[in-house]
Amino acid sequence: VKKDEPPKLVNAPSAADENYEQPLTQEESSLLKKMLRDKLVQNNQELEVQQRDPSSPLYSVKSFDDLPLRKELIRGIYGMGFNRPSKIQETALPLLLCNPPNMIAQSQSGTGKTAAFVLTMLSRLDTNKHYPQCICLSPTYELALQTGKAVEQMGKHLQGLQVAYAIRGNHVQRNTSIPAQIVIGTPGTMLDWTRKAALDLQKVEVFVLDEADVMIDTQGFKDQSIRIHSKLSNRCQMLLFSATYDDSVMKFAEQIISQPNIIKLKRNEETLDNIKQYYVKCSTVDKKYESLTNLYNVLSVGQAIIFCHTRKTASWLARKMCEDKYVVALLSGELDVSQRAAILRRFKEAKERVLVTTNVCSRGDVEQVTLVVNFDLPVDFNRRPDCETYLHRIGRTGRFGKSGVAINFVSNEQDMRILLEFQEHFGIKISYLDTGNYAEIE
Ligand code: ADP
């Protein structure tokens, strides 16, 4: 390696695509989150519980030992390194295990929903019986395998436990019988297995529909899920989980889960109060570059994300920074999910402290950074201010009571008007920052 060779750019794209970068689809972003996440996400949001029978006592448990669980399962849980129930598990598990109701539960990805329903399935099945007693519908092949892994880990000490996967490539012959107690799969294959009489839905005691929000976004899955659901007996416990909870999910949930208990996160008003927001005037893209490099020392103290509007700008910027020997990573739309996950994982491990990206990374993928730079202000197709994206981008900083910093590059009058609109929309102040005086934000 030549001495003066610039640091290598992580995953430099070749395409010079000037197109507006679409945010990830729900399916991609959900998968990405699953791939990245290896521990519980802490959230401070309150849960809201709507009980079917409001007179029945509602209690939450602080320890797995307080739940009516077989000792094999307790061993499995502790063996996975879980010390105590997560917030949603505290509230959902006593209901799910003691007085099996139907349930709709919503909370963000990574908060312990999967573990909660896996435990429910495992505590209901009888390993002496060799037919499917619990089924779980997942919107993707990969998710089905991940859920299965959780079942296998948690159920490790249950003698005779078997799991089957109704996913593409796993065909069954007509009238074969499946000895597994748990079947996890995607709706199409699951339906095929029931049509071939390999799966008797009348005997199923727990039905789980996971990631309902992704499910209804996927062509055909909603109808297939409804068809599967309609063949279940009315003694079957039905559970539906979702990371988000908008009207379309709710409508579907209520269609499929009758008389549910509902657990969901209280909507907390997202505020940008604890984020210091600034703007810097830079009339040209070269001026933006200059401002950014002046900022680099501040940027790389913690971790920073720089948002550009197009792939082309993002890759130009990352390349130029690399040529000038700044260490940055680039994440943009032409990468597939596993490449993205690899870059985000490196960033999470702080192997790179500065990430240049586009809208592909505006939602939830990165947990915490100290600084967000809007190299280009977020605007939609019609170049109108995109408040939601502004919120998602700068919401990456200033989490959990820590204060964060966001810097907006403004190059003309139109940008200035956009900025004013963000101020008005969120009731915030975006202060002028003198490029000569970055010390002020440190
Ligand atoms: P969700 O289904 O809401 O996305 P998961 O159940 O997959 O969340 O949990 C997210 C991560 O946290 C997983 O790696 C899981 O093993 C872990 N986890 C779940 N419950 C607990 C717990 N009670 N204690 C510690 N880790 C947990």
Tokens 């320890």 sit on residue = 63
pLDDT of 2 over the 70 cut: no
Question: How many whole angstroms separate alpha carbon 442 and alpha carbon 428?
Answer: 20
CB 272 within 8 A of CB 391: yes
If you average pLDDT over residues 209-238, what whole number do you get?
Answer: 92
Q: How much is the pLDDT for 47? A: 78
The torsion region of residue 23 among left (phi > 0), alpha (psi -120 to 50) and beta comes to: beta
Which has more confidence, 60 or 112?
112
Task: Report H helices in 99-140.
Answer: 113-124
For the Cβ of 429 lying below 6 angstroms from any atom of ligand 1, the answer is no
* Strand boundaries in 117-236, DSSP class E: 134-137, 163-166, 182-185, 206-209
Question: How many whole angstroms separate alpha carbon 344 and alpha carbon 330?
Answer: 10
- pLDDT-derived band at 253 (thresholds 50, 70, 90) equals very high
Pocket test for ligand 1, best of 61, 89, 114 (most atoms within 8 A of CB): 114
Choice among 7-11, 135-139, 296-300 with the minimum mean pLDDT? 7-11
pLDDT of 441 over the 80 cut: no
For the Cβ of 70 lying below 6 angstroms from any atom of ligand 1, the answer is no
- pLDDT-derived band at 243 (thresholds 50, 70, 90) equals confident
Mean pLDDT of the chain: 84
Q: Report pTM.
A: 0.69
If you average pLDDT over residues 234-251, what whole number do you get?
Answer: 89
Q: How much is the pLDDT for 14? A: 33
For the Cβ of 37 lying below 6 angstroms from any atom of ligand 1, the answer is yes
Q: From the CA of 41, how far away is ligand 1's center (Å)?
A: 8
Up-side HSE of residue 128: CA atoms within 13 Å toward CB?
A: 0
Question: How many whole angstroms separate alpha carbon 8 and alpha carbon 16?
Answer: 19
Q: In the structure encoding, which two tokens stand for residue 23, read together?
A: 């945010």
Q: How much is the pLDDT for 42? A: 67
pLDDT tens-digit map of 88-98: 999 899 989 87
- pLDDT-derived band at 9 (thresholds 50, 70, 90) equals very low
Tokens 């977020």 sit on residue = 378
- pLDDT-derived band at 197 (thresholds 50, 70, 90) equals confident
pLDDT of 76 over the 90 cut: yes
Residue nearest to atom 10 of ligand 1 (CA): 110
pLDDT tens-digit map of 365-399: 566 788 889 999 998 877 889 888 888 888 767 65
**Which residues make Cβ contacts (< 8 Å) with residue 248, sequence separation at least 6?**
216
**In 3-state terms, what secondary structure has residue 428?**
coil
Which has more confidence, 228 or 361?
228
pLDDT of 54 over the 90 cut: no
Task: Report H helices in 206-310.
Answer: 212-215, 221-230, 247-256, 285-299
Q: How much is the pLDDT for 301? A: 72
Q: How much is the pLDDT for 272? A: 74
pLDDT tens-digit map of 159-188: 999 999 999 999 999 988 999 999 999 999
Q: Is ipTM > 0.90 here?
A: yes
- pLDDT-derived band at 1 (thresholds 50, 70, 90) equals very low
Q: How much is the pLDDT for 175? A: 86
- pLDDT-derived band at 10 (thresholds 50, 70, 90) equals very low
- Most confidently predicted of 5-9, 161-165, 276-280, 337-341: 161-165
Q: How much is the pLDDT for 187? A: 96
CB 73 within 8 A of CB 122: yes
Residue 401 burial (CB < 10 Å; 0-12/13-18/19+)?
Answer: exposed
Q: In the structure encoding, which two tokens stand for residue 129, read together?
A: 């019986």
pLDDT of 7 over the 80 cut: no
Q: How much is the pLDDT for 38? A: 64
Beta bridge partners of 289: none
Other C-beta atoms closer than 10 Å to the C-beta of 357 total: 28
Q: From the CA of 267, how far away is ligand 1's center (Å)?
A: 21
pLDDT of 190 over the 90 cut: yes
Pocket test for ligand 1, best of 38, 40, 241 (most atoms within 8 A of CB): 40
pLDDT of 362 over the 70 cut: no
For the Cβ of 82 lying below 6 angstroms from any atom of ligand 1, the answer is yes
Q: How much is the pLDDT for 380? A: 81
Q: How much is the pLDDT for 203? A: 96
